[in-house]
Amino acid sequence: MASKKTTSTKESHPKTLLVGIQAPYNKMKDIQAYYDEFLSLVKTRGLGYDEKLFLKLRSIGKANFLTKGKLQDLLEFCDKNEIEEVVFSEILTSLQERNLEEILNCDVFDREKLILEIFRNSAHTAEGKIQVEMAEIEYYKTRLAGKGAALAQQPGFIGGKGPGETSKEVIKRHLTEKFRQAKKRFDVLKKSRDIQRKRRLESHIPLICLIGYTNSGKSSLINRLTHSNVGVENKLFATLDITTRELFVDHKKIGLISDTVGFISQLPHHLIEAFKSTLDELKYASLLLHVVDLSNSTWKDQIRVVQETMEELEVEQDTLFVFNKTDKIDPKELENLKCELEEYQPHVLINTMSKEGVSELVEFLRKYKFKN
């Protein structure tokens, strides 16, 4: 492999290109919103970049992801702008990533790597950190062939350089042992969670779980309903660790309410697998509140993504659609939207800016008959 370009004077910020791709499998109707989401992921990661390029593909190349013509366009762009690092909006296979690095003579990172790093930075509890670690190890194992420089004891990261070449066998053994240790630590925490769940089920305390697309306003809602101060930030995956609070209606405790990690289109499979044990809690919920950012132009696509993820997790609990952020929508537009919302039943309209803003939801919970 040819040596990488070294035009950047800052080790922490190689000259970086973001490549947003409209792929044929992408079901998002508003492709600009999809691109904006990619840029939000980059911003959340805190990744500096120098150039942006958006490509539309009619087909996917098995070896290089890009078709021959688009690949040539990208190669010329990288050469002209002396690009050292390319970040793709899509998930690449290890073969595609390796081939692109060879052709472009740049470090290449994909959507999965980007989201993994965001999760790593957002995890604060021991359980969350271990689950992200397990997902990262599984990801790196798929990148073993030809990627020794990026797979030593401390993994490489976007915007930085790899720690040095190590033999594939040593790395594989190291990752396997690291995963075993992480799994062992996680099993201890999982056992504790299982005991807590058993106690709750035996006491017949209802559990309400919030689900939804990332940045849909779940943390703001749990704060409004429980008078808590769960951290709220206007960025993707601001909340990663599960938060549980007691929920009172009319000064009477009606159960517990839990926040969960937000979902996103093309959420990496390794993350879903790593968080499956935690997300299994959804199967024991008495009610799911599917929080939807109605002010987002892609709210229907976001609902579909969450529902598909629930199907993958085999979660089939009773669900209430909670259409949030109505304060950001013009009243006439909101009135017109109500016909479209009839498809999603049952549902309520809310905003978390005031106590009155969640009155429809509180009224629903007041009347809801929780199953024992």
Per-residue pLDDT of the chain (372 residues; tens, 9 = 90+): 344 555 444 456 789 999 999 999 888 878 999 999 999 999 999 999 999 999 999 999 999 999 999 999 999 999 999 999 999 999 999 999 999 999 999 999 999 999 999 988 888 888 889 999 999 999 988 887 555 444 444 455 566 655 555 577 788 888 999 999 999 999 998 888 888 888 888 888 999 999 999 889 998 999 999 987 765 555 566 556 678 899 999 999 999 999 888 888 888 888 888 888 778 889 999 999 999 999 999 999 999 999 999 999 899 999 999 999 999 999 999 999 999 999 999 999 999 999 999 999 999 999 999 876
Q: Give the residue from 109, 142, 174 where a domain finishes.
A: 109
Q: Say if CB 85 and CB 104 are below 8 A apart.
A: no
What pLDDT is stored for residue 203 in this prediction? 86
Are 335 and 345 contained in the same domain? yes
Are 196 and 215 contained in the same domain? no
Are 233 and 302 contained in the same domain? yes
Are 105 and 139 contained in the same domain? no
pLDDT per position as a tens digit, 42-80 = 999 999 999 999 999 999 999 999 999 999 999 999 999
- Domain-located, residue 3: no
- Domain-located, residue 5: no
Q: What angle do CA 236, 237, 239 make, to 5 degrees?
A: 135
According to DSSP, the β-strands at 16-22 and 51-56 are parallel
- Nearest CA to 268 out of 119, 63, 95, 150 is that of 119
Are 31 and 82 contained in the same domain? yes
Please identify which residue in the block is written with the tokens 């190669």: 75
| Total structural domains within the chain | 3
Domain that holds residue 184: 122-203
- Domain-located, residue 258: yes
Are 227 and 196 contained in the same domain? no
Bridge partners of residue 244, in order along the sequence: 258
Q: Give the residue from 50, 83, 109 where a domain finishes.
A: 109
Are 217 and 272 contained in the same domain? yes
- Domain-located, residue 8: no
Sort 69 into a burial class: Cβ within 10 Å, 0-12 / 13-18 / 19+. exposed
Question: In one letter, which amino acid is 292?
Answer: V
Are 54 and 126 contained in the same domain? no
